[in-house]
A and B are shown apart, each in its own frame.
Chain A
Amino acid sequence: MKNPRKRYIVDKKFQLKYVLYPTIILIFVAIIICGIVYLTTWFSVIKEFSDVKLHQDLTTIVRMREYEGVRTRTVVETIPILKEEAKMLSKHQLKVIDKILVKTNTRVVLVVASILIAIFIFGIFITHRIAGPLFRISRELDKIINGDLNVNFNIRKKDELKTLSGKLQILVEKLKSEKQSLKKYIEEIKTTQLSDNQKKIIEKIENQL
């Protein structure tokens, strides 16, 4: 990269402000999404494997097979629906689900954290492209305020505010040329016959330039 900037933190306050705002919003959004996913998907998954639901399902399956047996007059082997067995099966299923849940949640947290860190780093990188030029413009403007027109508003190719800095540079160049013209004009006036009062005024203007 041409003319690489050594520091990415150019204006700490400014950059943190514009990185933290979206990051905080994203954290909130992530929390809300995770909450909704948990309450809808996970909650219903857990409910589906509760001992009550398993017992209901087992009863339904057994009953449907019994209905079929009665209608077709065939012997249907069905085991009695055992509440304790349904409970044990449910416990086992819930343990398995719990493991999947923990694994998935850990993955989700890691992914969300990685995304947030990436957003933060990317944010610093993006904001330094704005903060850098702003910092430079501000520094060069300070020079102008102190009467020094030897300033350079030119910024890096990929930085933001390129148009503004370009126009400021043109403005400075114009001011410089105006100053030169004025100096020339004063020199010309000085060669003419002037009263003391006029000489004093010319001197004052020259000092200002």
Chain B
Amino acid sequence: MTKLKKLLFLIFVFANVVFSQKDYDWLLDKVEKDSFMYFWELYDDKLGLIPDSSREGSPCSIAAVGFGLTAFCIGAERGWVEKNQAYLRIYKTLKTFLYKLEHKNGFFYHFLDMKTGERVWENEISTIDTALFLAGAIVASEYFKGTNIEEMVKKIYDRINWLWALNDKDVLCMGWKPETGFLPYYWDTYSEGIILYALAIGAEKNSIPKECWYKWKRKKCRYGEYEFVACPTGSLFTYQFSHAYIDFKNIVDKYDGTNYFENSKIATLVNKIFCEKRKHKYKTYAEGFWGLSACIGPYGYKGYGSSPGALHDGTVAPSAVGGSVMFLPEVCISTLKSMYDKLEYKVYGKYGFVNGFNLDYDWFADEFLGIDTGIILLSIENYRSGFVWRYFMNYPAVKKFVNLLFETKD
């Protein structure tokens, strides 16, 4: 090959890289902004609540509110909305949570009526959803540091009696109902519950002992050449939700030296390989799509996942892929791009990617879920700017949690 040919080839490769990068940037911008609009448009001005789903008649999910509060900060930072507008909306939401909503020892009900804020359908006081709400509130507290928002978040945080949620055990309980008391389920394995432990251990008031961190089971799963601390269901969201807030990149667990960021990277890869290995059986996987996580499928909402749970029927969740952009950007962005290019109008709508689809059943969800739309937004933003990590990791309670249980990666 002559020098000129070599040079032309290099220019071609470089141009391709630059072009595709710009192409991806355009897609990420679009997905982020459309996902943000879920929270901005569906926010109810009466109490500042956000629905669980875009479906008509959906109740509010307090976890979706948490993602929404973070989304408003991202929106303000990216200039999609005025910072003051975001402030006023967050203020209203926090006022509702601080003064109007019913709570038990500071913990809130999972689902609320959008207009009255009252508990609906006898649902439970939820520890994890309170934590996911609080995580979003903490980002807002740091972003609007020195304002009323910071004060209100502190009051909400200090009011929570984390010790109560232990129910005299050494792991945190999933919830409580006035009718039946504590639920018989505990956060005793690797899961999205990591964020709950972080906030419960790091709390300034009524914190749980740091020893509780060592009590949940770290069951390792081997998949081919990979080994990782696994959530029993294998649902990808369990490796994402806590990571959207806690930056585990440069820290390892003092307990066994696990780096949970790398762990989630492996879990994402395993999820992808799991689907690829079954592409001869499922049309969805054969088209190069993957992403097994809890989502709506042709037969309702299911906890889809790869190993070790391995519940799947060809339904994939775009949020499983979008939520892992912060771990494996190249792989995940190209899959999102492929979904968008091949199935645009079927899987992409007003608020970004729909909740799930299954080519084997020629089925496409027609709704968006707050937490799944939220994880896509937060993950992409973390990949692009580290915005959520930066603000969340700066909060004193989070610093306390990290200092107590983690050490810097070599």
Closest residue on chain A to residue B56 by CB atoms = A56
Q: Chain A interface: which of B142-150, B217-225, B293-301, B373-381?
A: B293-301
- Bound-complex Cα distance A60 to B128 (A): 20
Give Cα A57 to B59, complex, Å.
Answer: 10
Name B145-188 residues within 8 Å CB distance of A. Answer: 174, 183, 185
Q: Are B55 and A59 in contact (CB under 8 A)?
A: yes
> B57, B235, B302: which contacts A60 (Cβ < 8 A)?
B57
Q: A60-B121, A70-B233, A72-B185 are in contact. Are A53 and B57 (CB under 8 A)?
A: yes
Contact B303 A70 (CB under 8 A): yes
Which residues does chain B contribute within 8 Å of A69, judged by CB atoms?
303
Asked whether any CB of chain A lies closer than 8 Å to the CB of B111, the reply is yes
Q: Which residues of A contact B (CB under 8 A)?
A: 52-53, 56-57, 59-64, 66-73, 78, 80-81
Instruction: Decide if B233 touches A73 in the complex (CB within 8 Å).
Output: yes
Verify if B206 is at the interface (C-beta below 8 Å from A).
no
Known: A62-B300, A64-B121. 14 other contacts (CB 8 A): A56-B56, A56-B57, A61-B121, A66-B300, A66-B301, A68-B124, A69-B303, A70-B302, A70-B303, A71-B128, A71-B174, A71-B185, A80-B299, A80-B300
CB distance from A74 to the nearest CB of B (A): 8
Q: Is B58 positioned at the interface, with any CB of A under 8 Å from its CB?
A: yes
- Give chain B's interface residue range (CB within 8 Å of chain A): 20 to 34
| A63 vs B232: C-alpha distance when bound (angstroms) | 21
Minimum CB–CB distance for B403 against chain A, Å: 30
CB-defined contacts of A57 to chain B, threshold 8 Å: 57
Pick from B55, B174, B294: contact of A56, CB below 8 A: B55
Does B123 lie at the interface of the complex (its beta carbon under 8 Å from any beta carbon of A)?
A: yes
Q: Given A60-B121, A66-B301, verify A72-B57 contact (CB < 8 Å).
A: no
Q: Which of B177-215 contact A (CB under 8 A)?
A: 183, 185
A interface majority secondary structure:
helix
18 A–B contacts from the bound complex (CB under 8 Å): A56-B56, A56-B57, A60-B57, A60-B58, A60-B121, A63-B53, A63-B301, A66-B300, A66-B301, A66-B302, A68-B124, A70-B302, A70-B303, A71-B185, A72-B174, A72-B183, A72-B185, A80-B300
CB pair A60–B59 under 8 Å, yes or no, is yes
Chain A residues with CB under 8 Å of B128's CB are 71
Which residue from chain A places its CB closest to the CB of B193 in the assembled complex? Answer: A71
Contacts of B183 in A (CB 8 A): 72
Q: Closest 7 CB pairs between A and B?
A: A56-B57, A70-B303, A66-B301, A72-B185, A70-B294, A66-B300, A63-B301
Chain A positions within 8 Å of B57 at CB level: 53, 56-57, 59-60
- Smallest Cβ-Cβ distance to A81: which chain B residue: B300
* Cα-based distance from A21 to B58 in the complex (angstroms): 51
**Interchain nearest-CB distance for A90 vs B (Å):** 14
Q: How far is the CA of A72 from the CA of B57 in the complex (A)?
A: 25
Q: Of residues A57, A63, A64, A71, which shows the largest number of chain B Cβ atoms within 10 Å of its Cβ?
A: A71
The complex places the Cα of A72 from the Cα of B177 at a distance, in Å, of 15
Residue on A nearest B128 in the bound complex, by CB: A71
A64 contacts B111, CB within 8 Å?
Answer: yes
A115 CB, nearest partner CB in chain B, Å: 35
Q: How far is the CA of A63 from the CA of B294 in the complex (A)?
A: 12
Give 1 or 0 for each of B291-321: 1 = CB within 8 Å of chain A CB: 0001000011111000000000000000000
B302 pairs with A64, CB closer than 8 A: no
Residue of B nearest to A57 (CB): B57
Kindly report which residue of chain A lies nearest to residue B309, judged by CB atoms: A73
Q: Which B residues are in CB contact (< 8 Å) with A70?
A: 233, 235, 294, 301-303
CB of A30 to closest CB in B, whole Å? 31
Interface string of B36-60 (1 = CB under 8 A from A): 0000000000000000110111110
